[in-house]
Each structure stands twice: as structure tokens, then as C-alpha cells.
Structure 1
Amino acid sequence: MCGITGTSWTTRDKNISPLVLRSMTSVIAHRGPDDAGGYHSDLESRSFLFADENQWSDFTPNSETGAALGHRRLSIIDLGTGHQPLCNEDGTVWIVFNGEIYNYQELRTELVGQGHQFKTESDTEVIVHLYEEQGAACVEHLRGMFAFAIWDERRQRLFLARDRMGQKPLFYREEPSRLSFASELKSLLQLPGASREVDPHAIELFLAYQYVPHPWSILKGYQKLPPAHRAIYEQGQLTVERYWTPPYQHPELRTDLKFQTPQEWSKALRQTLTESVRIRMRSDVPLGAFLSGGIDSTIIAGLMQSMSERPVHTFSIGFPVKQFDETSYAREAAAMLGTEHHEYVVEPEALEMLPRLAWHYDEPFADSSAIPTMYLSQVTRQEVTVSLSGDGGDELFAGYDRYRAVALSQLFDRLPGFVRKMMTASIWQKLPASVEQKSFRRRVKRFLAGLAVPPERRYLKWVGIFDTERRLEMYTPEFREQIQNFDADQFLLDAYQLCPDRDFVTRTTATDVLTYLPCDILTKVDIASMAHSLECRSPFLDHHVAELAAVMPLDLKMHKGRGKQILVDTFADLLPESIQTRKKMGFGVPLNHWFRHELKPLLYDVLLDQRAIDRQIFDRKAVEQLINEHQNQQWDHSARLWSLLVLEMWFRTFMDPASIPDHFPEAALV
């Protein structure tokens, strides 16, 4: 696992010096603390280490077209000879790579048979030679998680690619005569004269989704390469295209993935996921697994243990607040599976964590489970360098409770018009309910409110924190004018259109696979784990597993309103009875409590500070009302307040001016 960065130019004035490249690379050193290297097409010795800057004091750009590539390495495979940037035999194809290719050994055997000569044992070199054979189509042969950049000197072409599910990030900036790229946005901001103009549309998207979705970025002129996309920059022209789509649409065309009975589907799932775990256990460094005590992580840990000769290291964290603590389930799973379990109880220091979150995530990111994910990564890295996780199981196998609401809403849509009108009447919203956002009455009112809009927009209304009406109420008139005629819902609606003909629950899970999974879950895990130089591998996200899940009938996933049924049926031998039947618990933190106690002063000191008001984004009275309603227990606004707090901390970290937090709070571990 690594960090990559670089640029390609088509006019001499856009050439960058090795010193600039070193700055771009150094700012993402946390992604790869073991090694650093660069490539510059204008240097006689193209590949070099970042050493004393005097060696470049007399650097003079001389090429009209060229490239510079930077790399930070976390050594996982081929510890001795896997230095990057890495090239082919004659030095005409160069690569910087972030990720893991799990079928690299099989690909290497084929390439050797075709006459290619290897100088390392790394998976990176396999991509170089595969590119020589296949060109841009090389990505279609890769099984893994990746973001990489290849500079093809012969064609004077920069080739970028990102893995199918979006596990590894890739930002880029296109400007006249130059394309720059990086694993993290902060690297691109090291370019001299880099623009830092906030995109108002990105703020609107952030409040709608809690993240800034691809291809947008929080800053104008910067974008994210979407998952399953590749890009070619040649002769000053950028072309971006999708190379893979999960086969939710027309599953009947995948005859290789069609089975007749539940038992046949279950057998295929067991074989495919087991193989996915097996190839992800290839590592030259210590390896373990996250174990929350949920169905997904327990299955992954169980499959690992079944293929290991010694106890697998598993890791979980808990919290003093009972409703956020899953350690008893993790402990029970570990005992049944026979893993060597590491359990920690943490008291998260959100006040100290906030600046660090803002720095690492680069953009406003309001999923509060980033806090425990940071702590889990911290304690896991103390024992291992690679950890497997259960990410993706909920989206692929209909595990979220909200899919039950989606299924119920389909019954509502079949009711006579007068019944639907009665159920969506505004009177129901005036009935009293508990202040707790997840109380039964609150959920019923939220469900009924969503029924009044079309199904696709209804789903966003249910899962979003700020719906459209509330967002507009929060904004100043000046900011509303900047985003007029922009529909933040369109990101979700476009994803729904990739799968128009399946049942609506399956369409919704497919939409989450294309949006929420890469933009929220995988972003959260990548940034949190790489902040501690920990590699996280997710067997459920193998594209073979994802394709099998995509064509699978819904009734195998959901049974009597309960999701992930086929996972429970297929892997019952790895799951304690209590875990098979337990309710899903989110990986969260007690925001509601914090904002009424420890963090109460922070809300007033930050959100109502004159700096925040002067940004002319939010109306002061609207923000004050939000805070007061929460403090008076009229409503649980904790997720909304966290979103506003995260956004303001991002402004203070990157715009007022940019500053790196001077320390990272160590968790209070027990």
C-alpha cells in the first residue's frame, strides 16, 4: 500500500522541478513510510531517491512534453526489491502504483511465457509488462484494489486507472497543458500556484450525502477519478472512460453465474468468497483481521482461520457507552473461531481528533464512524501491517435495515391513491415522538414523510442528513444563489439508472454499491488505515464476489425482511448463534451525548464564531436554532451538527491558511 503523485505537461512552462515533486510526495508520507522515490523525464538519471536538494539546485526544464512521478511505499510484498517508480526492460514505461494485485503470480507466469523479463518479485512490475501487452485494457485483467499512473515515453502518454469497486483513491487536476494526479488532494495543493477555490456545488453535495461524491472535489478544478474508470492524457487531451460495471442489469446474460437452486448459489458463494480470502492472505508482513462481531467480519475471520496453521490475530475496539459497544460479540466470535484476539476499550477524544480528521480526509467528511475507524487502525497497526475486513457485505447482500423500509415502500406504491394520500398527510409529522433519532416513532414519521416523493428521491430523503428543504433553510441568500438550478440528488438518480429493470430493492443496493460504498465506507477505511500505514483488504469487494452478488436473486439475500440471509445460511458453521440473529449495530460514537455535554462549548465557539459566519454559507439564526433545539432535547440534530462542525474544521485546516495538526491524540486504551 502506498501513496502516488505526479504530473504530465505538454508545454515547458508547466514542467515541475524535482523539488516540487518531493513536496508533493512528502505530504503523503503517512501512506508509505518505508521508502520514497521519484521519476523525472528531464533528468539524465530518470529514477532517483529524494535526497539532498542541492542535487537539483541547477535544474532547468528542457522538454516540451514529459512527466514526473512520485511514490511513497508501504512494503507488503517483495520487501527488498519493490522500489518505485519502476520501469520495463528498456526504461520506456514507468509506473507508480498504490494497491495490491492478488492474481499477480498467475499473470506473471503468463507474461514470462510471452518473453517478458522480471527484475523484481512485486505485483507492480506485472502491471508494467501487462500494459506493454494490453495497453489500456490491462486493467481488465487485474484482480485487486489499485490506483496507478503509467508514463509511456514512446507515446508521450499518461495513463491513470482506479480499481472496480473504488477501494483506492485518485484525485486529478486538469489545466491548460498539464494533468496532475495524486492519492490525496493535499498532494496536488503543493504545486506552485495551486488554486484553492471552494466549489459551492460540492458543499451542497456534502450536506446531502455527508461526503463529496466523485467526480466532484471540494475545490474547483480538482476531480476524483470514479471507480472502475481509466483515463489517458495524450497531446494535451484527457479522455476518461468506464471499463467495468457490476452486472445488476440483465443478469440473465451472465450464464456463468446462473444457478438453479439455493444450494447451488450457496456453494458458488462459499467457493468464491473463500478464494477471495485465500489470495488476500498473500503477504510478506504480519497479517490480521478486523473483528466487530458482526456477520461479515466474523465470516472473513473464520475463513482466514480455516486456512491458517496458527491463530489469526483479530482486533476489535469498544466504548464505555453500552449501545456503541460490540466487544462481547467479537469476543464470542474469536473464541469460537480460535483466533488470537486483541480487544481495546477507547474513550475517543473528538475535540482533539477533529483537526486530524480534517487534515487526513482532505475534504469535508461527516461519517462520524471515521473516529472509531481511526482508533481501530491505530491499535491494529501496533501488531500487524495488513488487516482484512468485512466491508461490502451489507451493500452486496442487502444487510442494511433501510432496505426493509425500501421493500415496505413498494407495497405502499401499490395502494389506492386515497390511501397513499392519507398516509402521507402532514398531520402525522405533528405527532409527538422521542427526541432520539432512532426511536420507533421517529422512524415511522421519517418513513411516512419519504413516501410523498418518488422512490429514488425518497431513498435519499431517508438516508440523508439534510434533506433539500432543510439545506435551503440553512443557507444564506447569497449562497442559495450560487447553487440555484443545481440538483444534488442527480448523483444518486444517475446511479439508479444504471440498473433500471430489476426490483427496486436490488436497484437500491446496486446504487449503494456505486455511491455510498466507494464514497463513504471505502474512503473512510482507506484514509483511516493509511493514516497509520496499515493496509486494509476487503474480500467481499473482489469483483468476482461482487458480480456473483449482482446477479443473485433478491429472495436469497432477503428473507422475511431480514438481509444477508444467504451469508448466514452459507457460513453458519463460522457464526455463533447469537451473531446469526443479532440486530445490526452501527460502528458509531455517542455524538448526541457529546454535543449536550463535552462538546457543547465547541458548537458555540466554532459554528457561531465570526469566522464561520463570514463565510456567507450558513445563516447564523438557522445554525443557532439547530444548536438550541439539540440542547433543549427538542430534536436529535447530532449528525447535522457534526456535518457543520466537520465542514468548518476543514475550512480552518485548508483555507485559513492550511496547517498540519501538530499531534495525533493517542487513544486511551484499556
Structure 2
Amino acid sequence: MCGISGVFSKENLEITKDIISKVNNVAKHRGPDAENYFFKNNFAFGHRRLSIIDLSSVSDQPFNMFGCTIVYNGEIFNYIEIRQELLGKGYQFQTESDTEVVLASYKEWGVECVDKFNGMWAFCIYDESQGKFFCSRDRFGIKPFYFIDNPQYFAFGSEVKQLLTLLPEHKANKKVLAEFIVGNEDYHEETFFENIFKLLPGYNLEFDLSEKSIKKWKYYEVKRIEVPKDFDGCLKKYRTLFESSIELRLRSDVKVGTCLSGGLDSSAIASLASAQYFKQTNQKFLSIHAKSFEKETDESYYANLVAENAGLDMFTVEPDKFSFSDVLEKVIQIQGEPFGGPSIVMQYFVFEEAAKQKITVMLDGQGGDETLIGYDSYFNMYLSTIPIVRSLIKYFNPSRKSLFRVNLKFAFFLRKFNGIIKRKLHKKRFSFLNESYFNRIDHTLIFDEALKHCKNDFLFQKFEMEHGIQKLLRYEDRNSMYHGIESRLPFLDHRLVEYSLSLPLAFKLKDNETKHILREMMVGNVPDEVIYRKDKKGFEAPSSFWNQYISESSRNISDSKILKDMIVGDMPKNKALEWRLANIAAWEKAFNVII
């Protein structure tokens, strides 16, 4: 896990150390262990290293071999197996790192090397013989890759903040802001800043150094695979894949721990990882829990049950409302872009505590809900697979001027059989938005795309994996990396994702119970009170903090030039909407954003 950067001058100007170091060191928190550079004519690479595998300096980057130079962020968890395959082909290795395995894989298999990888990555390889940069981002977008492509530069970095150093002004992207207000973001390559883009998950990018042009292509798409017909067979295979995913993600030369909210996903990971870790090291596995000071959002009872049952060494952080206020501006700086709720702040405290305990790798449960129909609103999505309901949805298809979050979960939540389905969603719901913002969202196009992917449970889960999880991964990456911690996500092993999505719906959703196969698998490993609980929370922030933050942000909101331009009418009273407006105002101030 590291921070990467690169700047190529299209005007054939020298990229000095002053230029590249400014870009690179904005992300110095991502790599506290080493700082290095590579210079070549009119371009330069920068790298900040967080040492995880092979801690020696010989594995520092930029790394040169086979006439190629790489800057790389992430981990290839199956690097040992790939290394063995390459040794059989006559390759020799100078280090024990996965970085060298990535370069050797590129040498052997070219751009198809990414098909071999089980992991998370964002990298750029300078291929001198081909006169190109080959860039890639992992299948689900766990690791970030941002870029600029303008008449002056092609440049890239791990965080959007790095690329701001190359722009004369920080201009807001009205389209993305409008989508954020609607409750919909991270569906495409645009960011909250004009002229800064992200490489989409499962995509490769090539930059031709002589033509000074880029091309992008999708190399991965979730596919349906064959699974056993019977539940017991499916359960056995699911356990095998899940345990294999955890085993791979425990590979490390530094201390490993896990997040533990008290929910099913984190409890499953913590329990199985603890058993594997103790078997490997004869030591207790470490876990971090965030305790809420409000009873209704506190999950510490369940976390303690899991920790005691699994023999975990659990550390608990309990931020008060003053702690939230103190770190909120810092979290906005860390994230670099607006975020939709205070749970992101709670997540910050978890990784802060992990850093205090000198944990460098943390497991977490992102992806469990998306792969196993874990959200309550998935019940409403399932209704859409019924022919008569599909017909009704088509009849009440919202117009281009309608307001709704163009996300399957929310779209079908709004269409529950409580009378809402009898009326269309009209623009008046967002009448407070300036037309110049609202008209940039193509609501109908996205709705039709969602409806197309709702023919069966596999397709609407696939749609959610490709669209709904991206912002969660962005939040996780920024919070963990700010504290010099690599976050690893066992549920997002691509083998497990494809298997989970291919399971019969009845094995995931049964008797009003989500994640059925995971619950059954964890019987005997996790306390029943956790397995069968229905009050899902996650690392949820105290509700009083919402109101406090919104109240304290009134000055920022009234001073915001962006909001003055965006808001033209009276807004409805809505806590989530008010949070988003306050967050935009704080982001505008933090990064000197202009309209």
C-alpha cells in the first residue's frame, strides 16, 4: 500500500523534482517508510512507500526491471503462487516483494497480466520499448487512480488532492455536485473537481508517449459461474472460498488486525481470521471497535460477545460529540471530496486507534452487503423481478425532470406499496436546485440502465457492485491510508464475489432473512445473538452529531458561493440533505473551490 504519482509534460518541458515532489508529498501519509523518484526526459514518477511485504529497501519504488519502471499501490495477495509459476518459466527474482512479481507478470503476459492477479491495485508501468505507460486499476476499485489529461499534462496520483497542485484553479464540477445532492455519486469517471478524472474499476489505460494520447478499456466484468445445485454443496464451497480469501489477506510482514463493528460481516471475518492467525502465530488477533455514546447506535454488546467467543484482543475507542467536532474538518481534508454522512467520521476513529496500536494492516467487511443481499432495501429490489411489478415500474418510469436517487436500492424503496407507486416523482421535489445544475443529470438514462439490470438477482447485484460500492471504497481508502494503514477486504476477493452473485437467490434471501448462507456458515463460530440480529448499524455515528454539525455549519452554508449558485428556492427539511449541503460548503472552504 503506497502513494503513487506521475507527471508527463506534453509540451516537452522538464519535470523537475520540485514539480513531482509537490504532487508526491501531498500523499506522504500514504507512504511514511520511503520517498523516491524516477526522471526521464519530460516525465517523472514519484512514490511514497508503506512497507508491508519485504520490508527491505531493495523493494522500494519506482522499481526498474525488464526495461520497465513501475509505481504501484496495493497488494497482489496471490503473488507467491504467481511467482512460482514464473520461476517455472525461467524468471529469476531479486526481491521477495509482490512489486517485482507484477513487473515480471507484465513482461510475461503483457496487459493480460491483470487477469492473473487476486488483489487490489493501482499502478503505472513505463514500458520503454513500447513508448507507453500502462496503467491499471483493480476489478472493484479498492485502490484509487486519478488522472489529468489536458494540453499541458498527462498526470496521475493516488488522491485527487495530489493533482490539485498542477491546476491553476480548483473548479467545482456542477454535474457531480448535483448528483451528490440527489444522493447519487461515483457512477462515472468524473470527480467533484473539473478536469480531474478517475480510472474506473476494472479498467486499463494506456498513454502513448509519442502520440500523447490515451485509450481506456474494460478488462473485467463480473460473470455468472456454475455453482452446486444443493444448499450444503454451496455452503461448503462458500466456506472454502471465504477462508481462502482471509488466508491470502493475512499475508504480511507487519502486524495485522481487523475492524469489528458487532455486525455479521465484521464478526465473520474477525472470528475466522482469529482462528487462522492464532494457528500461524500462536498469538491473539487484534480487533478495533468504535463504541457510540448513544444507546440506540451502540453495538459494543455484540462486539464484546464476538471478541470473547473468538479469543480476540479487542481495543475500543469511544469518541464523544466534542471529538467528532474536533476532527470533522480534518476528515474533510483527508477525503478530498464531499461525503454523505457522519459514519465516515466514526470510521476515522477506528483507524486512528489501529494506528495507536501499531497495526499496519486491517481487515474490514466492505462488500458483504452487496454480495449477499444484505441491505433491507434489497427486498424491494426483489419485488421488481416479479413481472407485474416490472410492468408497473415501467408505467411509472420517472421523466427526465424527476427527482430520485438513481440507484436501485433507493429507486425501489420509493416504489414500495404504500401509495408512493401511484404518483410520479416530479421535479418539484428538487425545485430548490438551479436548472444549470439539475439539467446536467440524465435521470432517465440511468433509470433505464438500472431497470435493465433488474431482470434477476444476479444482474441487480452486479449493478450494485459496479456502481453502489464505489463511494464506500473511497471513504475507506482515505481514512485508512491517512493513518498509514492498509485496509484489506475479504468479501471483495473476485472469486468470492462471482460465486456469491451466482448463488440461487433462496440461498441468500430466505424467510425474511438476508445473507442466509453466511449466517448458516457462521453457526458455531459466531454467537447466535450476532448471527440472527436484525438491527444492522455498522460503525454508525451518534444521531445527535448530525444535528450538532448541521447547526454549527450554518455560517459556512450562508457564506458558500457554490450553494448560493446552486440553491434557488426553499429546501425541504431533510437531515441527510442538510448534511450534504454543509459538507459541500466545508469542502469548498477547505480546498478553495470556485464555481
Q: What TM-score do you get using the length of structure 2 for normalisation? A: 0.89
Residue 492 of structure 1: how far off its partner (Å): 6.3
Change (3 A) 1:591 1:609: farther
Residue 470 of structure 1: how far off its partner (Å): 3.2
Distance in structure 1 (CA, Å) of the matches to 2:175 and 2:593: 20
Change (3 A) 1:375 1:261: same
Residue 320 of structure 1: how far off its partner (Å): 0.9
Distance in structure 2 (CA, Å) of the matches to 1:241 and 1:612: 34
Equivalent residue, structure 2, for 1:645: 582
**Alignment pair present for 1:604 and 2:547:** no
Distance in structure 2 (CA, Å) of the matches to 1:468 and 1:17: 51
Asked if 1 retains the 8 angstrom alpha-carbon contact of 2:361 and 2:488, the reply is: yes
Which range moves more in the overlay, 321-330 or 175-184? 175-184
Asked if 2 retains the 8 angstrom alpha-carbon contact of 1:212 and 1:363, the reply is: no
In the TM superposition, 1:74-473 aligns within 5 A as: 74-80=50-56, 81-89=58-66, 92-176=67-151, 178-191=153-166, 193-209=167-183, 211-234=185-208, 235-247=211-223, 251=224, 254=225, 257-307=226-276, 308=278, 309-348=282-321, 349-383=323-357, 384-408=359-383, 413-414=388-389, 448=418, 451-452=421-422, 469-471=428-430, 473=431
- CA shift digits 1:46-84 (9 cap, x unpaired): xxxxxxxxxxxxxxxxxxxx5311111111111013200
Distance in structure 1 (CA, Å) of the matches to 2:261 and 2:119: 24
SS in 1 for 2:472: helix
Equivalent residue, structure 2, for 1:618: 567
Distance in structure 1 (CA, Å) of the matches to 2:422 and 2:194: 35
Residue 101 of structure 1: how far off its partner (Å): 0.5
Letter in 2 for 1:365: F
Which range moves more in the overlay, 487-496 or 570-579? 487-496
Equivalent residue, structure 2, for 1:67: 43
- CA shift digits 1:269-304 (9 cap, x unpaired): 000110110011111111111111111111111111
Letter in 2 for 1:73: R
Equivalent residue, structure 2, for 1:510: 462
Which range moves more in the overlay, 297-306 or 587-596? 587-596
Residue 414 of structure 1: how far off its partner (Å): 4.5
SS in 2 for 1:574: coil
Letter in 2 for 1:510: K
Asked if 1 retains the 8 angstrom alpha-carbon contact of 2:38 and 2:62, the reply is: yes
Letter in 1 for 2:274: Q
Asked if 1 retains the 8 angstrom alpha-carbon contact of 2:274 and 2:312, the reply is: yes
- CA shift digits 1:544-585 (9 cap, x unpaired): 101101211111000023210000112212121101111142
Asked if 1 retains the 8 angstrom alpha-carbon contact of 2:384 and 2:390, the reply is: no
Residue 496 of structure 1: how far off its partner (Å): 5.8
Query: Could you say which structure has the larger radius of gyration?
Result: 1
Equivalent residue, structure 2, for 1:566: 517
**Alignment pair present for 1:655 and 2:556:** no
Residue 396 of structure 1: how far off its partner (Å): 0.1
Equivalent residue, structure 1, for 2:405: none
In the TM superposition, 1:481-520 aligns within 5 A as: 481-484=436-439, 486-488=441-443, 490-491=445-446, 493-494=448-449, 497=452, 499=453, 502-503=455-456, 505-517=457-469, 519-520=470-471
**Alignment pair present for 1:578 and 2:529:** yes
Residue 483 of structure 1: how far off its partner (Å): 4.5
Distance in structure 1 (CA, Å) of the matches to 2:461 and 2:415: 23
- CA shift digits 1:333-359 (9 cap, x unpaired): 111111111122221433333322221
Distance in structure 1 (CA, Å) of the matches to 2:498 and 2:198: 24
Asked if 2 retains the 8 angstrom alpha-carbon contact of 1:164 and 1:229, the reply is: yes
Change (3 A) 1:482 1:338: closer
Asked if 2 retains the 8 angstrom alpha-carbon contact of 1:540 and 1:546, the reply is: yes
Asked if 2 retains the 8 angstrom alpha-carbon contact of 1:212 and 1:365, the reply is: no
Letter in 1 for 2:171: E
Unaligned runs of at least 5 residues, structure 1 = 43-65, 425-442, 455-460, 462-466, 630-636, 658-670
Asked if 1 retains the 8 angstrom alpha-carbon contact of 2:82 and 2:101, the reply is: yes
Residue 474 of structure 1: how far off its partner (Å): 2.1
Distance in structure 2 (CA, Å) of the matches to 1:608 and 1:173: 32
Residue 154 of structure 1: how far off its partner (Å): 1.4
Residue 490 of structure 1: how far off its partner (Å): 4.0
Asked if 1 retains the 8 angstrom alpha-carbon contact of 2:120 and 2:142, the reply is: yes
Change (3 A) 1:491 1:156: farther
Asked if 1 retains the 8 angstrom alpha-carbon contact of 2:250 and 2:256, the reply is: yes
Distance in structure 1 (CA, Å) of the matches to 2:131 and 2:187: 31
Distance in structure 2 (CA, Å) of the matches to 1:373 and 1:346: 11
Letter in 2 for 1:507: L
Asked if 2 retains the 8 angstrom alpha-carbon contact of 1:395 and 1:513, the reply is: yes
Letter in 1 for 2:63: L
Distance in structure 2 (CA, Å) of the matches to 1:109 and 1:588: 40
SS in 1 for 2:316: strand
Asked if 2 retains the 8 angstrom alpha-carbon contact of 1:10 and 1:177, the reply is: yes
Asked if 2 retains the 8 angstrom alpha-carbon contact of 1:210 and 1:366, the reply is: no
Distance in structure 2 (CA, Å) of the matches to 1:609 and 1:123: 49
Distance in structure 2 (CA, Å) of the matches to 1:283 and 1:268: 26
Distance in structure 2 (CA, Å) of the matches to 1:363 and 1:380: 24
Asked if 2 retains the 8 angstrom alpha-carbon contact of 1:274 and 1:303, the reply is: yes
Change (3 A) 1:86 1:468: farther
Distance in structure 2 (CA, Å) of the matches to 1:25 and 1:366: 28
Which range moves more in the overlay, 146-155 or 348-357? 348-357
Asked if 2 retains the 8 angstrom alpha-carbon contact of 1:205 and 1:212, the reply is: no
Equivalent residue, structure 1, for 2:401: none
Asked if 1 retains the 8 angstrom alpha-carbon contact of 2:54 and 2:95, the reply is: yes
Change (3 A) 1:469 1:106: farther
* Alignment partner of 1:475 out of 418, 426, 433: 433
Asked if 2 retains the 8 angstrom alpha-carbon contact of 1:188 and 1:194, the reply is: no
Residue 412 of structure 1: how far off its partner (Å): 9.3
Asked if 2 retains the 8 angstrom alpha-carbon contact of 1:386 and 1:537, the reply is: yes
Change (3 A) 1:599 1:280: closer
Q: What TM-score do you get using the length of structure 1 for normalisation? A: 0.80
Distance in structure 2 (CA, Å) of the matches to 1:230 and 1:492: 27
Letter in 2 for 1:470: R
Distance in structure 1 (CA, Å) of the matches to 2:480 and 2:161: 17
Distance in structure 2 (CA, Å) of the matches to 1:213 and 1:342: 36
Identity %: 28
Change (3 A) 1:490 1:39: farther
SS in 2 for 1:79: coil
Which range moves more in the overlay, 483-492 or 346-355? 483-492
Query: How many residue pairs align between the two structures?
Result: 569
Distance in structure 2 (CA, Å) of the matches to 1:187 and 1:416: 48
SS in 1 for 2:578: helix
Letter in 2 for 1:292: S
